[in-house]
Amino acid sequence: MKGIVPAGLLAMVFFSVPALAQESGVSFSHKNWEVVCDNTLTCRAAGYSPEEGKGGSVLLTREAGAGSAVTGKVMLAEGDDTDSTPPVAQLALWINGQPAGALTATKNDDWQLSQQQTQRLVAAIKGSGKVEFKGGPEPFVLSGDGAYAVLLKMDDVQGRIGTPGALTKKGDKPESSVLAAIPEPVIQQAKTATSPKRALTAPEMAALKPKLLAALGKSEECDLLDDPDEMGDMISSEDKAITLQPVDKSHVLISALCWRAAYNEGYGYWLMDSQLAEKPQLVTTSGTDYSDGVISLGQKGRGMGDCWWSASWVWDGSVFRKSHEGGTGSCRYLRLGGTWDLPLWVAQVKPAQ
């Protein structure tokens, strides 16, 4: 059915394996746990309370490479606007009904576990141990359901299975067999033109529509180009305009509204030569903005905005290169704007000179 969020984008938001993950990182979820490993092989595993909106979430992060340690953080669920509960002054870890020490508050509104606390927490969630955090309005009980499968995936991605440093299946394989971290790609951002965008003329639209449609992948659609009448009252006459934005003297960016749903919409962006003669290069059909050489994407997993998917592409003088891709974790009613930053793709962007 046209005019709704594309299935591929929903899969990305809800942390099934994203379509783009095949060329970037890896994500995997099971029950109340999920793990996302980016293109440098840094892995981040997030666990939640058994019930949505309750307690909070734990984030376990481990960089690739032999001997790297696991670090742990805790984010408590935020109260609603009418909640008069005072801020949490102290948060303590309890394992199997016994105190395991206080956590350290950070400036990011989360709490840091010590190395020893992280090790004890990991040992507990792999089995039948009970992990809870006390100090908030009510205890945050961390679910262990799905934890072992997620930690096993983390070990697998980083090449740790069978080594002494594995979190799950330990062995006597040398630590030197563990995969090394992959350096972030470096993107040198290029300067862009400051000319305003304009609507395509009728002859330009007639000539370009077939080319833009032909540049779509098998799983991508653009309703405005394919069959604008299907979008019906969801778009205005202004929305139907296909625009041209100069990028530099030799390149332009063609943009069109491709789909719209209840709380998301996606724009298609195609890079073309300024003469509109060559084959367009599709960047995305789910973009939300273009500004100063950066195409950005930001889509909610559901209306209240407690989970998001985002991506960005930076102009390097020849193409738009992906500089970021990732989400904020499962949709759990914990935090407006999302709970964690779980990237699938990271890059170092050097500003335009």
- One digit per residue, the tens of pLDDT, for the chain of length 353 reads 344 444 444 444 433 333 333 457 999 999 999 999 999 999 999 999 999 999 999 999 999 999 999 999 999 999 765 556 788 999 999 999 999 999 999 999 999 999 999 999 999 999 999 999 999 999 999 999 999 999 999 999 999 999 999 999 999 999 999 999 999 999 999 999 999 999 999 999 999 999 999 999 888 999 989 877 666 666 776 778 899 999 999 999 999 999 998 899 999 999 999 999 999 999 999 999 999 999 999 999 999 999 999 999 999 999 999 999 999 999 999 999 999 999 999 999 999 98
Residue 1 lies in a domain: no
pLDDT of residue 228: 72
Q: Scanning the structure block, which residue is given the tokens 């969020």?
A: 5
Let me know whether 172 and 193 are in one domain. no
Number of domains, the chain:
2
Q: What are the CA-CA distances from residue 321 to residues 18, 93, 165, 187 (Å)?
A: 18, 43, 35, 7
Residue 2 lies in a domain: no
* Three-point CA angle 109, 111, 116, nearest 5°: 165
Let me know whether 202 and 308 are in one domain. yes
pLDDT of residue 4: 43
Let me know whether 250 and 133 are in one domain. no
User: Which two three-digit tokens encode residue 84?
Assistant: 């008069």
pLDDT of residue 326: 98
Phi, then psi, of 304 in degrees rounded to 5: -75, -10
Domain encompassing residue 196: 187-350
Let me know whether 226 and 340 are in one domain. yes
Q: Mark which of 152, 183, 214 sits at the end of a domain.
A: 183
Q: Mark which of 158, 183, 208 sits at the end of a domain.
A: 183
Q: Mark which of 141, 164, 183 sits at the end of a domain.
A: 183
| Strand stretches in 149-197, DSSP E | 186-188
Let me know whether 277 and 342 are in one domain. yes
Helix ranges (H only) for the chain are 7-13, 115-126, 147-157, 202-214, 223-226
Let me know whether 172 and 197 are in one domain. no
Residue 88: strand, helix, or coil: coil
* Three-point CA angle 296, 301, 304, nearest 5°: 105
Residue 346 CA, distance from chain mean position = 10
pLDDT of residue 227: 78
pLDDT of residue 226: 87
Residue 213 lies in a domain: yes
**Cα–Cα nearest to 221, from 279, 272, 286:** 286
Task: Work out the number of other CB atoms within 10 angstroms of the CB of residue 220.
Answer: 18
Residue 100 lies in a domain: yes
Residues contacting 281, CB < 8 A, separation 6+ = 215, 270, 271, 272, 319
